[in-house]
Chain A
Amino acid sequence: MVQKEMLPLQMECTLLFQSNPYMIESIEGIAAKLDRAKEEILPVLLQLVNQGILQNLGDDDSPLYRYKEPVVITKLDGEKRKA
């Protein structure tokens, strides 16, 4: 799929995980939640993992995805809170 065509689904997927930051979900589960085909979802998930927005907690055969919070530095020069 061309990247531009993927964008709306990518945003939708990002917002789904942002709204449920503790959710750990399989491709099938995400596809069901977003009412899309697995084939449509997979490249989007790979892209999001690549961008560091999601992390794969499973293995390549049965991946499980979870939201990965951005890195927050509360005081520049100060301590790093999350990595």
Chain B
Amino acid sequence: MNPSLELLEELQAIYAENYGLSIIITNENGKLILHPKGSNRLFNWFYEKRFDEIKRVIDSSEQKKWTFTTPFIYDILPGIFMIVTPVHLEDGRRYFLWAGLMIEDGTQHLIQEQLQMNEDKIIKETPIYTPDKKQEFIAGMKKLAHLASLCLKDKDAGSTIQMQNQLFQQVKQTGTNTAEILEGFLERHQEYEFLGIANKVTEEQYEVTDVFGKAIQSLKGMTFSPGEGLLGRPLITDGHEFWENVDKDPRAISLRRYSLHPKSFFCFPIKRNDGSRTLLFGGCHSNARFSNHTVELGKALGILLETGYLIQDLHTDNVQQLNRLTSLIEVCKLMVSTHDLKRIIYILVDISLNLVKGPFSCVILKEQQSENVKLVSRGNVDGHLSDYAKQVAENYLLHTESNQEFENLTPIINETPWGVMTIECPLWNRGRLFGVLCVGTSEFNKEQLQEHVNFIQTLSIMGGISLQIVEQEENGLDDKLIHSLFHAIEQFDKEAYSIAEEAAKLAKEFAESQGLTIPVVNYVTHACLLSYYSPGFIQEMLPATRIGTIIEEGNALLTKDFNGNWDTASVSAQVYALVMSYLDKKSIDTIVNSHHGGGMVQEFKAFLYETQVIEEEITLNESIVTEQELDSVTNTIKQLKLSPREQEVLDLVIQGYNNKEIAEQLYISGHTVKNHVTKIFQKLEVPDRAHAISKVYRLKHQSG
């Protein structure tokens, strides 16, 4: 028990004993604060056997709202008296001391009959009520009331922390359900008679959504604006308010319109995680004042609800984040598994718009091996988007050749020329920049913006990977087609085939010696391989590559007199033209003579001087040696106990072909090649290719 109440209980017992009475203490609502103390047998008999009589008196005090300030005598039955002493505290709270019983002299016999008591001893021991005694009792009870007020006041000041702790404990037990917290609070703390919650409906309007306690149901559904009346005011000042004597306050008119007539009223704005406010309010219909204790309790409730809402909000946030993440994973899975470039780009554009909900989203893509920039967009802002896209392409795509550190590229927040904030995320993977995902946003909240950036970055990383996968798939398909077309030439024009092969070899060596990038080297090489075909046909067969363009541009340079525009022609076309011209005429003198300047022509001339003459000699020698060697090796192979097909396979193994190439050469599957190779190893009793080749040469040497 509270130490102050313990002290009051002691005083209650002493005073009861001193006056031969029994005393109980209730609060103004009739709730028993301290049980009977004292040995007044008639009181105790009543308390035990006819409690209803006492209860009736106590209830009438609550119903009639007794406002007496001094003790008075109350007859619970004719001739049986009790002294009722009010205890008034400064904050307006009231308690009552009920002391009794006394009987009027000369009525003992009648009372005994009235109460139908067999035992007359109880009546005989009951104090007699006389005018002198009355004064004595009243004086005594006054003193006790004074002491009680001190004790109860002490409770006010000293137990706030304890009360707060109790409140926290109760909430801990009931959980963070707002209704349960508020109902439990009203039950335990009768200083408050009603509580309510108002939530934001629109920017300009709040609504009372929940009400708890006495005579407040009519307030539910009431709407008000920030600043309007008592409820609206704290939403403007953003601080809690405790108003007393509200029944005389004109600002309470809006409450009275809804039949709420509080005497004291408080509001506590609760800050929500999303920056909005929820309003906690409450008060009392009977007390016009708030004690410090009551104020602190109200504040503690506000803080507690704020914490509860924070937990709820964080939990909701968490669930939402998890759902968004799950959806994003699904989107990423779909993107990575799709083989359609267009679909990936549409996903990037649409899902980023879903995520950010901004005014526009777009993907700006640089086409492979060209300067062409493509824009796929939603929400074109009055046609300004292409200007912005050009600016982005300039920044990211067209001048980044020297800066290949794409891994360091992170999303940046930029602004469009028309003043919309935009998140720019590069789409890259393994050193290749495909484009930029740009998403307009009107989100100014820093945390929300960062959340968008994180999601868009994840989407763009997966987008980059997906784009690369699709590109690789497309390139793989092109490679097969290029080689098929090249081999087809052999079927109807062997000379053209070998020229193309030689051209490709020379072009590759020269392009590599010039330090050109691998994609450029590949395009030039492929253009040479397919030089036999018309550029239009190649363009039709391989529309996603530059091969057709290189052939067309290169052929244009090879017009009579070589007067094509060498200065503006692409590097690839120049290399193609030089190689094809050299193989045609075994000289580039005509080009050198007719073309003034031209760094590439000079470079090619130097390259031929440095390498081609020596290489030709070497090639000549090598081809003789190789032919001789191959002849003798072929003979050696024939001496081995291998099937004709195995002999063919071994022949190609010795020439350095891998299984895939052997399969292509012999028009058999890679699996069959592998089987043949394994059998060859078994028959030759060798573990691998190197040993097989070594064994064949050893045998050749022995036989030769």
- Measured CB to CB, the residues of A under 8 A from B are 3-5, 7-8, 10-12, 14-15, 18, 47, 51-53, 69-77
Give residues of chain B (332-347) contacting chain A, Cβ–Cβ below 8 Å.
Answer: 334, 343, 345-347
Q: Answer whether residue B323 sits at the interface, using C-beta atoms and an 8 A cutoff.
A: yes
Taking a contact as CB atoms under 8 Å apart, the answer to whether B386 and A7 are in contact is no
**Which 3 pairs show the lowest CB-CB distances between chains A and B?**
A8-B327, A73-B375, A11-B327
Q: How far is the CA of A10 from the CA of B346 in the complex (A)?
A: 15
Task: Given A11-B331, A18-B346, output 18 extra A-B contacts at Cβ < 8 Å.
Answer: A3-B357, A5-B320, A7-B320, A7-B324, A8-B324, A11-B351, A51-B357, A51-B379, A52-B379, A53-B350, A53-B354, A70-B349, A70-B350, A71-B376, A71-B380, A72-B376, A73-B375, A73-B386
Pairwise interchain contact B351-A14, C-beta atoms closer than 8 A: yes
Per-position contact with A for B307-332: 1 when CB-CB < 8 Å, else 0? 00000000000001001101110110
Interface residues on B, range: 35 or more
CB nearest neighbor in A for B359: A51
Are B331 and A70 interface neighbours, CB within 8 A? no
User: B373 contacts A75, CB within 8 Å?
Assistant: yes
Nearest CB on B from A67, distance (A) = 9
Which of the residues A18, A72, A77 comes within 8 Å of B343, measured between beta carbons? A18
Contacting residue for B373 out of A4, A47, A76, CB 8 A:
A76
Q: How far is it, in angstroms, between the C-alpha of A53 and the C-alpha of B352 when the chains are bound? A: 12
Determine whether the beta carbon of A4 is less than 8 Å from that of B389.
no
Q: How far is the CA of A76 from the CA of B49 in the complex (A)?
A: 100
For A72, give the chain B residue with the smallest CB separation: B376
Enumerate chain B residues within 8 angstroms of A3, measured Cβ to Cβ: 357
CB of B357 within 8 A of CB of A71, answer no
The residue that A7 contacts in the complex, of B327, B376, B393, with Cβ under 8 A, is B327
* Set A18, A73, A74, A75: member contacting B347, Cβ < 8 A: A18
Beyond A4-B320, A18-B347, is A12–B327 a contact (Cβ under 8 Å)? Answer: yes
Partner of A76, one of B345, B349, B375: B375
Cβ of B374 within 8 Å of any chain A Cβ, yes or no, is yes
Report if A70-B377 is in contact (Cβ < 8 Å); known contacts: A7-B355, A14-B354, A75-B372: yes
* Chain A: CB-nearest residue to B320: A4
CA distance A77 to B398 in the complex (A): 15
A70 contacts B327, CB within 8 Å? no
CB distance from A21 to the nearest CB of B (A): 9
- Report if A70-B374 is in contact (Cβ < 8 Å); known contacts: A5-B320, A53-B353: no
Contacting residues, chain A, for B351 (C-beta < 8 A): 11, 14
Report the minimum CB–CB distance from A52 to chain B (whole Å): 5
Closest to A68 in B: B378
Q: Within the complex, what minimum Cβ distance (angstroms) separates B665 from chain A?
A: 41
CA distance A39 to B51 in the complex (A): 60
Q: How far is the CB of B230 from chain A (nearest CB, A)?
A: 30
- When the two chains form their complex, are residues A71 and B377 in contact, meaning their CB atoms are under 8 A apart? yes
Assuming A8-B326, A51-B357, A76-B393, is B375 touching A14 (CB within 8 A)? no
Residues of B within 8 A of A (CB): 320, 323-324, 326-328, 330-331, 334, 343, 345-347, 349-351, 353-355, 357, 362, 364, 372-380, 386, 389-390, 393
- Inter-chain contacts of A53 with B (CB < 8 A): 350, 353-354, 378
Contact in complex: B334, A15 (CB < 8 Å): yes
Give the residues in chain B near A12, CB-CB below 8 Å: 327, 330
What is the bound-complex CA distance between A51 and B377, given in angstroms? Answer: 12
Chain B residue nearest to A10 in the complex (CB) = B354
Residues of B within 8 A of A75 (CB): 372-374
Cβ–Cβ contact B323 & A8, under 8 A: yes
Chain B residue contacts of A10, Cβ below 8 A: 354
The answer to whether residues A11 and B330 also contact, given A18-B350, A71-B380, A73-B386 and a CB cut-off of 8 A, is: yes
Docked complex Cα distance between A18 and B349 (Å): 11
Give every chain A residue within 8 A of B364 (Cβ-Cβ): 76
Task: Say yes or no: A70-B373 contact (C-beta < 8 A), given A7-B354, A11-B331, A76-B389.
Answer: no
Chain B residues lying within 8 Å of A5, measured Cβ to Cβ, are 320, 323
Residues of A within 8 Å of B350, CB to CB, are 14, 18, 53, 70
B250 to chain A, nearest CB (A): 38
Chain A contacts of B372 at CB under 8 A? 74-75
Residues of B within 8 A of A72 (CB): 374-376
Question: Beyond A7-B354, A11-B327, A11-B351, is A76–B376 a contact (Cβ under 8 Å)?
Answer: no
Q: Which residues of B contact A14 (CB under 8 A)?
A: 350-351, 354
Can you report 5 A-B residue pairs in the complex whose CB atoms are below 8 A from each other?
A: A8-B324, A18-B346, A51-B353, A70-B377, A75-B373
Return the chain A residue nearest B328 by Cβ: A11
Q: Is the CB of B375 within 8 A of A51?
A: no
Residues of A near B334 (CB, < 8 A) are 15
Q: Judge whether A73 and B374 touch: CB under 8 Å.
A: yes
Given contacts A70-B349, A75-B373, contact A51 B389 (CB under 8 A): no
Whole-angstrom distance from the CB of B333 to the nearest CB of chain A?
11
* Bound: A7/B353 CA distance, A: 11
Which residue in chain A gives the minimum CB-CB distance to B334?
A15
Across the two chains, which residue of chain A brings its CB closest to B390? Answer: A76
Q: Is A51 in contact with B327, judged by CB distance below 8 angstroms? A: no
Also in contact, A76 and B374, with CB within 8 A (given A7-B327, A8-B326, A12-B327) = yes
Contacts of A51 in B (CB 8 A): 353-354, 357, 378-379
Whole-angstrom distance between the Cβ of A19 and the nearest chain B Cβ: 8
B160 smallest CB distance to A (angstroms)? 38
